[in-house]
Amino acid sequence: MQKPLSDLAMYIKNTLPVEIPETYALKPIIKEMGDEKNIRESVLAFRDFLNSLYDRLIIDGHLYYKPPKKEDSHASLSVGYPFLDYLKSILINIGYGDLQENNASIILYDLQSLFTIWGPGGSWKMRTKITTPKLIECLKFLSLCGIHFDGIDLHEKKINISNITSLVIKYPENPALLLGFKVMAIAHIQLHITKYNDDLFLRCDYKALVDDETDITYLLKEAFRSLSAKVQDFIMTLHNRYINAGLTCRYECKHLNFRFFYSHKNKEIWMLSASFHNASRLLIKANNTNKYADIIETFSEPLQEKIARGYGCEKKRFGEPCQWGCHGFSFPLDDSILNISGDIEVWLDKELSCLQRKKS
């Protein structure tokens, strides 16, 4: 059963950056937008606005949510949570409006641009458009979040968008937000430089603005910061152990699912995942267990039973809810993982040694 919109809002809120540096180097395309200090302040204002927007959705999300007719445990935003998808696209479209010289307002002269729906990666637009009733519903919601729309009366029973020649957008609580809309809209549309780094806008991923490569350990700590300190320590121990052993770590964010793939010469061995649908998990893509059966016999009994069962699609093989079993043996990243942490290190060591022998 699909989780409600309020749950998704809580999840995304917890992915927002808690600490954003006071100074960081900006990419050239962002520098062109004005004073660098103002740009950084606008990103902070944008992060704070998203926090309040998600807080409102956590409380009132049920008013804007209709479960899809067809259940899909991996439904995208556009399919499973269209209201939030519309909000994202409308705010991006506002960001591409004309920011006035004092940065206190944005003017939209082409209101038809508000109907455009942007995909999770900003490099493409959806073929469908936001309908007028849904646009009005979203504008009313945003007005509850403190955004002022001068030029349209949202209290009218029938609103004819075609009669409106321009719209002035303001945010009196903190006008810096308007520049933030523009900065993060550009990040979403023009700085989506990797194949999978979805929904920069909704996550206020300021790292897309930074003119430097982001350290993978920073991304790892951010993705799992909500877990207990002991589990976080276990994650970092595994990460450091296998990076030092020569494995590469590839990061991606797809459909708000943060994944870290650990590979030996392009052969994936294990993965860390933090997702809305399946929480945080460790997945081990072990394909050589028959070569170290004697070692497996030293593992805890529940782990032995899990390995004997094998892995694969939970829905097809075992009639169970999906836990990304197609990516390997799946383990929840909660305190229960600590009971088998030693066995997991031994297990991963054996898998790696088998691959190293094959390559030699």
Instruction: Give the pLDDT of residue 268.
Output: 93
Element holding 330 (H helix, E strand): strand 329-332
> Is a pLDDT exceeding 60 seen at residue 111?
yes
Please, which residues have CB within 8 angstroms of residue 247's CB and are 6 or more apart in sequence?
262, 263, 264, 269, 352
pLDDT band at 278 (very low <50, low <70, confident <90, very high): confident
> Is a pLDDT exceeding 70 seen at residue 325?
no
Assigned token pair, 69: 């007719």
Average pLDDT value for the chain:
91
- Per-domain boundaries in the chain: 5-194, 216-359
pTM score > 0.85 for this model?
yes
pLDDT band at 124 (very low <50, low <70, confident <90, very high): low
Give Cα separations from 262 to 35, 234, 323 (angstroms).
Answer: 40, 15, 19
- Which residue type occupies 25? A
Identify any residues that bridge with 262 across adjacent strands, giving them in sequence order: 249, 270
Quick: pLDDT tens for 2-28.
889 999 999 999 999 999 999 999 999
Torsion on CA atoms 39, 253, 263, 215, rounded to nearest 10 = 20
